[in-house]
Structure 1
Amino acid sequence: MKKIVYGLFFGDSITYGEYDSVFGGWVDILKRYALQKFHEGNGDELILFNLGIGGETTEGLLKRMPVELSARNSADGNLVFLSYGANDLAIKEGIQVVEPEKFKNNIIAAVQQAKQFSNDIYLVSILPVSQKIDGVVVGSGKLRTNREVVAYNEILKDIAAEYSLGYIDFYAALFDDKEVLLSADGVHPNEKGYGMMAEIAIPVIEKYL
């Protein structure tokens, strides 16, 4: 008998797929891929939920996570993806939105919540920012640096290792070609960038199809 597994993608506007008018972002590409595989009659059904909210930090995640997890809980199992940090690390009016130690504690708390529903939890790296906005205050009033991106990614890697979680390293994959793979705002991927992210993530979800 085939199983129905849910995949829950928590994150910000990059999870949501902002600025991708072609594919709808990397999570939506994965949704279509999983559906296609199911219709081909291969294996179990994997239903993916895009729970990305633009501008969200780990503070917002902790507030809504219990409700979201309870509402989408498959008896056959759940996958949980946590994709945060791009908004947490931003500096606005001289203050970091969510400081590193708080970010670390928030991610650990989120992992502990997710563990009540899932044994398959993945942390997703923060993307690099374009050279043109690295250290620059942009129109939203936020300032981001690749130095901070690396520091926050190290926190995610350490947590993944400590709690035996999966880690999806989009940062390393996109860094060298970031000027080509990021959109004009220098933060969000363009359709090429989102497509590459999906290619990297497909082998992860393949295990559950």
Structure 2
Amino acid sequence: MQTRPLYTAVGDSLTVGVGATIFQPNFVKLYHHELEAYYQTRIERRVYAKNGATTAEISANLSRPDVSEAIRNAQFITLTGGGNDFLKAGRQWMRTGNFSPVIQASEQSLAHFEQMIRQIGVLHKNNPSPFIVRVLNLYNPLFYIPDTNRWLESYNERLNSLEDYPFVRVADIYHAFSGHEPQLLGFDRIHPNPIGYRIMAQVTASLGFEPAF
């Protein structure tokens, strides 16, 4: 029987922590530390994430029995996703000049996030315990390509509609990274470096931790 509060992290490579090092914690570990420091208690952590996962794959992952159980019992939930959807579409756009894959990626990613939030709400419907969900919006690793900032600003603005659900807040990673990408991205120029992950955790933590338990 679970006795400690639970933090469940679901997502893509940003939840995996690609780009972090053994000695420099990733986003999930840093956010977990912020939770424990705030509540002054031990908090259990479970992570369900895959490098390269699209929002379709992350959404499907929520239906796994172990993931559903971890979400149902969690007081704290974080979601990352969407980056791989846009990277794939952006490469198609650069190769062909066809902008429609980017529009499609945006619409599908937003629809999948909406589906995930609804599913989380359903899983908690019969659990009276308070809980919070933090969705991280997208920074721009392709900031040097014209138009990409405009795409992501539009996408992130629409992602904010998830806050219509009272238990959801969206962490504005985009503006925290904007103008500082060269200093915050790792060697692959896609994933954050340890400093970038620390900023992600700080921005997400700044949204507060209540009401959770």
Normalising by structure 1, what TM-score?
0.77
1:145 to 143, 148, 152: 148
Aligned to 2:123: 117
Compare the two structures and name the one with the higher strand fraction: 1
Cα RMSD after superposing both structures: 2.9
Q: Deviations over 1:49-71 (max 9, x none)?
A: 23231111111012110224333
Q: Residue type matched to 1:6 in 2?
A: L
Report the alpha carbon displacement of residue 201 of structure 1 after superposing the two structures with TM: 2.7
Aligned to 1:31: 32
With over 3 angstroms needed to count, the CA separation of the structure-2 counterparts of 1:106 and 1:17, relative to structure 1, is: same
**Count of residues in Structure 1 that have an aligned counterpart in Structure 2:** 193
List gaps (5 residues or longer) in structure 2: 94-100, 125-130
Report the alpha carbon displacement of residue 86 of structure 1 after superposing the two structures with TM: 0.8
Aligned pairs (5 A) from 1:37-186: 42-43=40-41, 45-67=42-64, 68-73=66-71, 77-90=74-87, 91=89, 92-94=91-93, 95-96=101-102, 99-118=105-124, 119-132=131-144, 134=145, 145-160=148-163, 162-164=164-166, 165-186=168-189
With over 3 angstroms needed to count, the CA separation of the structure-2 counterparts of 1:114 and 1:204, relative to structure 1, is: same
Indicate the percent of aligned positions where both proteins have the same amino acid.
19
Aligned to 1:141: none
How many angstroms apart in 2 are the aligned matches of 1:105 and 1:130?
A: 23
With over 3 angstroms needed to count, the CA separation of the structure-2 counterparts of 1:69 and 1:93, relative to structure 1, is: same
Compare the two structures and name the one with the higher helix fraction: 2
Aligned to 2:96: none
List gaps (5 residues or longer) in structure 1: 136-143
Q: Is the 8 A contact 1:35 1:47 kept in 2?
A: no
Q: Is the 8 A contact 2:136 2:204 kept in 1?
A: no
Q: Is the 8 A contact 1:58 1:103 kept in 2?
A: yes
Q: Residue type matched to 1:116 in 2?
A: V
Aligned to 1:195: 198
Report the alpha carbon displacement of residue 206 of structure 1 after superposing the two structures with TM: 4.8
With over 3 angstroms needed to count, the CA separation of the structure-2 counterparts of 1:116 and 1:5, relative to structure 1, is: farther
